[in-house]
A and B are shown apart, each in its own frame.
Chain A
Amino acid sequence: AQKVTQAQTEISVVEKEDVTLDCVYETRDTTYYLFWYKQPPSGELVFLIRRNSFDEQNEISGRYSWNFQKSTSSFNFTITASQVVDSAVYFCALSPSNSGYALNFGKGTSLLVTP
């Protein structure tokens, strides 16, 4: 079975603080992909990053960084120097290779960044 757990339901930070969103996944597949999507208040789903199970390199993109640790089945997302525009719901998703790459989403973490 595939499962994604985002234990943090809501997080509230003040602008310029760093914040880490946790994601833990379960799968028996050896080949899979992990994703993060952002859903701002307007409702659309915006792709942020994709990682495959063989690539444990951390990635940084501007203020965003991702830490993939296969040993702990985690794929955490850090926003550095948060901004009000980062306020959104963030979803972690798992896509096993044998499911046609359908996404299994976590419940999401609602991030509120206040000025």
Chain B
Amino acid sequence: DSGVTQTPKHLITATGQRVTLRCSPRSGDLSVYWYQQSLDQGLQFLIHYYNGEERAKGNILERFSAQQFPDLHSELNLSSLELGDSALYFCASTSPRGTGSKNEQFFGPGTRLTVL
């Protein structure tokens, strides 16, 4: 158990809909990263938040957005869903710099999204 939690575990929805995926980082971790794993694209970095602020963007579509709240949990919002958005969405957290961490990212169990 990595200490990172994600809900829900599975999500089935229809095209055109909007969903929200939730992630709680490990206790004390300030950084949250979101990744998408699909058969076509493999594992791709989407976005990074640090202590509530967006720090880096990867291959995140404009239909997707994220935020990190004061309690450090993060949500990934996916809207106008398409069949191609079906994927496993992971979040990961890492310890703050200077804490002796090795910058390894600890991954949650993922949310499997199926768009029908």
Contacts and interface: CB of A to CB of B under 8 A. Distances in A.
Nearest to A95: B103
Contact of A104 (B45, B90, B102, B103): B45
B18 interface: no
Contact of A100 (B35, B56, B104, B112): B56
Interface residues of B, number: 26
Contacts of B106: 47
Interface residues of A, number: 21
Given A101-B94, A102-B45, A44 B110 contact: yes
B3 to A, nearest CB: 12
A52 to B, nearest CB: 8
Contacts of B58: 102
Contacts of A64: none
A100 B107 contact: no
B45 A103 contact: yes
Contact of B43 (A33, A95, A100, A105): A105
Given A44-B109, A50-B103, A91-B43, A100 B48 contact: yes
A99 interface: yes
Interface of A: 33, 35, 37, 43-47, 50, 91, 95, 99-108
